[in-house]
Structure 1
Amino acid sequence: MLIKTFGSAVQGVNAYTITMEVNVTPGTKYYMVGLPDNAIKESEQRIESALKYNGYRMPRQKVVINMAPAGIRKEGSAYDLPIALGILAASDQMRGERLGEYIIMGELSLDGTLRPVKGILPIAIQARKEGFKGFVLPVQNANEAAIVNKLDIIGVENIKQAIDFFDGKVDITPLVIDTRDIFQATVNQYEADFAHVQGQENIKRALEIAAAGGHNAIMIGPPGAGKTMLAKRLPSILPPLTMQEALETTKIHSVAGKLGESASLLSTRPFRAPHHTISDVALVGGGGVPQPGEISLSHNGVLFMDELPEFKRTVLEVMRQPLEERRVSISRAKMTIDFPANFMLIASMNPCPCGYYNHPDKDCVCGPGVVQRYLNKVSGPLLDRIDLHVEVTPVTFDQMTESRKTESSEAIRERVVKARQIQEERFKDFPNIHSNAMMPSQMVKEICEINAGGKALLKTAMERLGLSARAYDRILKVSRTIADLAGTDEIKIEHLAEAIQYRSLDREGWAG
């Protein structure tokens, strides 16, 4: 008897429906075809054990399972449940007329208990698109799938419960959650807040400008000055995620298996801080079946790279293209997969190996030329893509112990949101541009016009401070963002002057 059940395969951040055709006929042996990997081939042992434990039998006949389309390689143990149910229906041990109405996924334990699987959200989105009535899956994944409306989400704990559901012996109420209510209730709930930071007003200002224009930034300062602490608070002043951004971000984390059990829609912007020993593949994504890397996991959020010069050169260089194109393309012999990567890069570094170059109180012990060699670990093309260079100085004792209340993240975020709204209006005719940082060079000349006084100031700054040519566009973009924060259409001289301050690493002789 031939029975069809339906599962799904995830490639990139998209899902493709897979049909499990199960045929039980007179004969012997168990055959699985359709490009399954070893984990799927091993499912025979898990399925047989789970069926016996729950009072069913594995047919002692010829069992042929075809996973179609046969040209797509299938991976993982998530096909255990649909294959097991197909075998039971094909051997007349359960009713099979409703199996075709549902997408079914789940990994079986030897006793029939279901384990959670990853990539549930894109699978649920595809199931609704293709008109399936519902989705039968492990109960631990039900909250994630319930983000998708107009699809019956049937969470089951074990194979017996799934069998009874399809046999009509139990009625499982589909899980329904109000995604928008949950999203609105938890949006912008960050543990870290700028209200807890004493001093460092100039760094807070720089991060506010970075958030308002979507600019990348690097902080240079001695150990213990607060670079990491400040970076962790940056997501709390970024504009709230939109529902579309939240879905995009959740899909990526779902595919990577980073959501955790019973997780639902991500409502806060991601903050990823990989260790400096990370490989280039782990950063941009890859593998035999490409998986998203830290760059894509930072989509719509912040990628923080602490101690930037300590990262391997190859790791730093692979970031250059994603920073420009805001996506990662991973090519294999038979496919090319794109992962979104629209993130803000925030980096920090010591000014030298000992950490105390330019320190107000401690002497640097690095030898001649050591400081410059240390800074040269970060290439010019990468620095070219970082708009703000901020020098961080240690907080004094008086600043740490003062009792006055500092500005909260919520107050800063209000100004950032207003500046972003100005930019959304400015770029409404350009669908791929949403912030000042994303402007191409030709657009900078049109949108970032400066008066004669501004041109004279910029010329003087570039000549006297030894600023490089690559700093020109960056200064104009940042000054445009500062003007947006001030609510003015014109870029004034004070806006340009402030933007010029944020090009420390472009100054000739900065490191001696």
Structure 2
Amino acid sequence: MLVKVYGSAVFGVEATTITVEVNIDKGIGYHLVGLPDNAIRESSFRIAAALQNNSYKLPGKKITVNMAPADLRKEGSAYDMTLALGILAASSQIKAPKIEEYIIMGELSLDGSLQPIKGALPIAIKAKQEGFKGFILPKQNAKEGAIVSGLDVYGVENITEVIEFFDQGKKLEPTIVNTREEFYQNLKHPEFDFADVKGQESIKRCMEIAAAGGHNIILIGPPGSGKTMLAKRLPSILPPMTLHEALETTKIHSVVGKVRENVGLMAERPFRSPHHTISDVALVGGGAYPQPGEISLSHNGILFLDELPEFKRSVLEVMRQPLEDREVTISRAKFTVTYPSSFMLVASMNPSPGGYFNDPDAPVTSSPAEMQRYLSKISGPLLDRIDIHIEVTPVPFEKLSDERRGESSVKIRERVTKARENQTLRFKDIEHIHYNAQMGVRQIREFCKLDEASKQLLKTAMERLNLSARAYDRILKVSRTIADLENSEKINGEHISEAIQYRSLDRDGWLG
């Protein structure tokens, strides 16, 4: 008897429906075809034990299982339940006339209980698009799948529940998630607050500008000056994600199984901080069967690279294209996948190998040659892609001992959100551009027009600092954001002057 059951495979951040055809005939043997990997090949042992422990059995006949399309590589253990139900239906141990109306996924334990799967959200989106009635999956992933409205999502704990649902008509309770309500409920304030930061007013201002325009930023300062502490507080002043951004972010994290159990939609912007020993593949994504890397897991959030010169140069260089295009494409012989990677790059570094620069009282000093060698680990083209460079100096004792709290992240975020709203309105007719850092050359020319005095000021700075054309564009983008924070329609000389200040690494004595 031939039975068709439906599962799903995830490639990139999109799902593809897999038809599992199970045929049982005279003879003996278990034949699994359709490019399954080792995890799927081993499924027969898990299925046999799970069925036996739940009063069913793997029939002693010739079982042929085809996973179509047959030329598409299938991987992972999430097809266990799909295969098990197909075998039970094909061997007439259960009656399941409506089994073709559902996508069924889940990894089986030997007692028949289910383990969570990866990619529940993209699978649910695809199931709805293709007109399936429902999606049956492990209970741990149910809220994630239930984000998709118009599709019945059933979270189950054991294969017995699914067997009784098809064979005996026993009801399963669908998981219902009010996506909007859950999203707005989860917009809680993070634990790190700028109110706890003593002093560093100029750096807070810099962070506010970076958050308002989505600009990449690098913090340069000696050990203990507060670079990491400030970076960790940056997500607290970013505007809340839109519902679309939250869905996009959850989708990427779902593919790699990073969504927390019993959590539907991710409401907080991601903050990723990889160690400096990370490989280029782990950062941008890839592998024999590509997975998203850290830059894609940072999509709509922040990628923080602490001690930037300690990262391998090859790792840093692979970021250049994603920083410009805001997506990364990974090509293999048989397929190509594209992952979104629109993130804010936040980096920190010491100004020299010893950590101190031009400080006669410093415990460790470095020669100009040592410092130049240290800074040359970061290429000019990469620094050009960072809009804001700012020096962080240690906080004096008087400010550290001050009992007064600084301005809270909530108040700063209100100004940032207002500036972002101005930008959203400005770019409403332009696809894929939502804030100032995403502007291309055409948008810069249109929205960053300068008067004669501002042009002359910028010209002088360009000549004295020997800035590149890309740095020129960065200054215009940052000055546009400063104007937006002041709710100013036009960019004036003050905005340009402040933006030029945030190019520390372009000055003499840094990179030559």
TM range (shorter): over 0.9
2:80 corresponds to 1:99 = no
Equivalence for 1:439: 439
Moved more, 3-12 or 258-267: 258-267
Aligned partners of 1:41 and 1:73: how far apart in 2? 13
Moved more, 37-46 or 472-481: 472-481
Residues 468 and 507, structure 1, Cα contact 8 Å, conserved in 2? no
Sort the Cα spacing of 1:375 and 1:258 in 2 relative to 1 into closer, same or farther, 3 A.
Answer: same
Structure 2 matches for 1:137-176, cutoff 5 A? 137-168=137-168, 170-176=170-176
> What TM-score does the superposition give when structure 2 sets the normalisation length?
0.97
Equivalence for 2:311: 311
Which 4+ stretches in 1 moved above 3 angstroms?
Answer: 358-361, 462-470
- 1:132-152, CA deviations, whole angstroms, 9 ceiling, x for partnerless residues? 111111111111111111211
Structure 2 matches for 1:74-473, cutoff 5 A? 74-168=74-168, 170-359=170-359, 361-362=361-362, 364-473=364-473
Aligned partners of 1:361 and 1:394: how far apart in 2? 13
Aligned partners of 1:397 and 1:325: how far apart in 2? 44
Aligned residue pair count = 512
- 1:238-292, CA deviations, whole angstroms, 9 ceiling, x for partnerless residues? 1111111000000000001111322211001000000000000000000111100
Give structure 2 stretches of 5+ with no counterpart.
none
1:24 is displaced (CA, Å) by 0.8
1:464 is displaced (CA, Å) by 4.0
- 1:65-97, CA deviations, whole angstroms, 9 ceiling, x for partnerless residues? 111111111101100001001101111111121
- 1:384-406, CA deviations, whole angstroms, 9 ceiling, x for partnerless residues? 10000000001111111212231
**Letter matched to residue 183 of structure 2:** F
Equivalence for 2:3: 3
Moved more, 239-248 or 469-478: 469-478
1:225 is displaced (CA, Å) by 0.8
Q: What is the SS of the residue equivalent to 1:32?
A: strand
Identity %: 65
Residues 376 and 511, structure 2, Cα contact 8 Å, conserved in 1? no
Residues 216 and 345, structure 2, Cα contact 8 Å, conserved in 1? yes
Sort the Cα spacing of 1:469 and 1:58 in 2 relative to 1 into closer, same or farther, 3 A.
Answer: closer
Residues 359 and 393, structure 1, Cα contact 8 Å, conserved in 2? no
- 1:39-68, CA deviations, whole angstroms, 9 ceiling, x for partnerless residues? 111111111111111111111111111111
Residues 357 and 364, structure 1, Cα contact 8 Å, conserved in 2? no
Equivalence for 1:507: 507
1:224 is displaced (CA, Å) by 1.1
**Letter matched to residue 26 of structure 2:** P
Aligned partners of 1:511 and 1:14: how far apart in 2? 43
Moved more, 23-32 or 358-367: 358-367
Aligned partners of 1:278 and 1:34: how far apart in 2? 35
Aligned partners of 1:96 and 1:169: how far apart in 2? 9
Residues 194 and 407, structure 2, Cα contact 8 Å, conserved in 1? yes
Aligned partners of 2:346 and 2:188: how far apart in 1? 19
Structure 2 matches for 1:30-49, cutoff 5 A? 30-49=30-49
- 1:104-142, CA deviations, whole angstroms, 9 ceiling, x for partnerless residues? 000111111111111000001111111111111111111
**Letter matched to residue 44 of structure 2:** E
1:457 is displaced (CA, Å) by 2.0
Q: What is the SS of the residue equivalent to 1:153?
A: strand
**Letter matched to residue 428 of structure 2:** K
1:429 is displaced (CA, Å) by 2.3
1:432 is displaced (CA, Å) by 2.0
Sort the Cα spacing of 1:168 and 1:305 in 2 relative to 1 into closer, same or farther, 3 A.
Answer: same
RMSD: 1.4
1:169 is displaced (CA, Å) by 5.4
Equivalence for 1:71: 71
**Letter matched to residue 200 of structure 2:** Q
Structure 2 matches for 1:457-496, cutoff 5 A? 457-496=457-496
1:465 is displaced (CA, Å) by 4.5
Aligned partners of 1:463 and 1:99: how far apart in 2? 71
1:456 is displaced (CA, Å) by 2.5
Residues 468 and 506, structure 1, Cα contact 8 Å, conserved in 2? no
> What TM-score does the superposition give when structure 1 sets the normalisation length?
0.97
Residues 7 and 103, structure 2, Cα contact 8 Å, conserved in 1? yes
Q: What is the SS of the residue equivalent to 2:333?
A: coil
**Letter matched to residue 300 of structure 2:** N
1:458 is displaced (CA, Å) by 2.0
Equivalence for 1:29: 29
Residues 358 and 364, structure 1, Cα contact 8 Å, conserved in 2? no
1:178 is displaced (CA, Å) by 1.2
